[in-house]
């Protein structure tokens, strides 16, 4: 949406929020400190949090050794998260990663069937619009397959997924009011630094944990910002 807005105008201020990709690498801004164009706002560090998600996943499920990663190869952020952050941390944690591509909604049944035959220890889902649009379906598969699962936002966990770790989106959306206020008072987007999140949320679905017979260690539960019981 940010790219579409940029293509439509180079003069009207654009405030971005909820990005799961690096806005500098994506070409939305020149730098975080000095955006330089008509775009500013917040980035939610979606892909950069991949390694942290995997670390929390391993802490919550110590027996984890083989992790299936469901990703959309057409989503640049999803690919980057899997190949860089997740792959690097997986090696350090001695986890085996098995990527599973989904290019369209029609791929899920085939992928779920193949994944079921290989029986991984857990399912990791990075960001991406295709995956998000099928979030309920993915969470339902993990629950039915007794698979511990880690996701990029709480919507998956609300749908029955095991856990998620992300920037605190409500806090980020509230911060947008600051940008709108500054712009309405005459500030230029080029001069308003892009902010990164300072507040994060770690959500655990304890009801799901019980259903799939996973005992979350007490120290991990203590770090959760929200627990679904």
How confident is residue 135, by pLDDT bands cut at 50, 70 and 90?
A: very high
Q: Read off the pTM.
A: 0.83
Angstrom distance (rounded) from CA 144 to CA 131: 18
pLDDT digit string (tens) for 153-163?
999 999 999 99
Say which DSSP state 33 is in.
S
Angstrom distance (rounded) from CA 229 to CA 226: 10
pLDDT number for residue 2: 65
CATH no. of 2-43+168-198: 3.40.50.2300
Residue 19 has pLDDT above 60, yes or no: no
**2-43+168-198 and 47-166+204-228 in the same fold:** yes
Torsion of CA 167, 173, 175, 180, to 10 degrees: 150
In this structure, of 6-20, 95-109, 138-152, 171-185, the range with the lowest mean pLDDT score is 6-20
How confident is residue 167, by pLDDT bands cut at 50, 70 and 90?
A: confident
Query: Backbone phi, then psi, for 206, in 5-degree steps?
Result: -70, -30
How distant, in Å, are the alpha carbons of 2, 46, 187 from that of 13? Answer: 11, 23, 10
Average pLDDT, the chain: 89
Q: Percentage of the chain with pLDDT > 90?
A: 59
- Helix ranges (H only) for 68-134 are 76-80, 87-92, 108-118, 129-133
Closest CA to 53 of 165, 172, 184, 131: 165
Domain ranges of the chain: 2-43+168-198, 47-166+204-228
Return the CATH superfamily for domain 47-166+204-228.
Answer: Response regulator (3.40.50.2300)
pLDDT digit string (tens) for 185-200?
999 999 999 888 888 9
Query: Backbone phi, then psi, for 214, in 5-degree steps?
Result: -115, 125
């Amino acid at each position: 949406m940010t790219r579409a807005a940029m293509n439509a105008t180079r003069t009207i201020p654009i405030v971005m929020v909820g990005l799961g990709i690096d806005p500098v690498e994506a070409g939305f801004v020149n730098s975080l400190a000095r955006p330089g164009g008509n775009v500013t706002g917040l980035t939610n560090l979606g892909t950069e949090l991949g390694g942290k998600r995997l670390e929390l996943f391993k802490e919550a499920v110590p027996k984890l050794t083989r992790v299936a990663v469901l990703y959309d190869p057409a989503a640049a952020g999803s690919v980057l998260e899997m190949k860089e952050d997740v792959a690097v941390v997986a090696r350090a944690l001695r986890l085996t990663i098995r990527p599973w591509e989904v290019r369209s909604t029609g791929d899920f049944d085939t992928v779920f069937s193949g994944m079921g035959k290989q029986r991984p220890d857990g399912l990791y889902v990075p960001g991406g619009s295709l995956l998000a649009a099928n979030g309920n379906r993915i969470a339902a598969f993990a629950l039915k397959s007794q698979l511990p699962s880690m996701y990029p936002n709480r919507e998956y966990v609300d749908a029955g997924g095991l856990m998620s770790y992300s920037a605190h989106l409500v806090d980020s959306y509230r911060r947008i009011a600051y940008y709108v206020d500054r712009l309405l008072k005459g500030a230029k987007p080029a001069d308003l630094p892009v902010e990164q999140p300072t507040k994060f949320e770690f959500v655990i679905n304890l009801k799901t944990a019980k259903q799939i017979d996973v005992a979350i260690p007490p120290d991990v539960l203590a770090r959760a910002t929200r627990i679904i019981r």
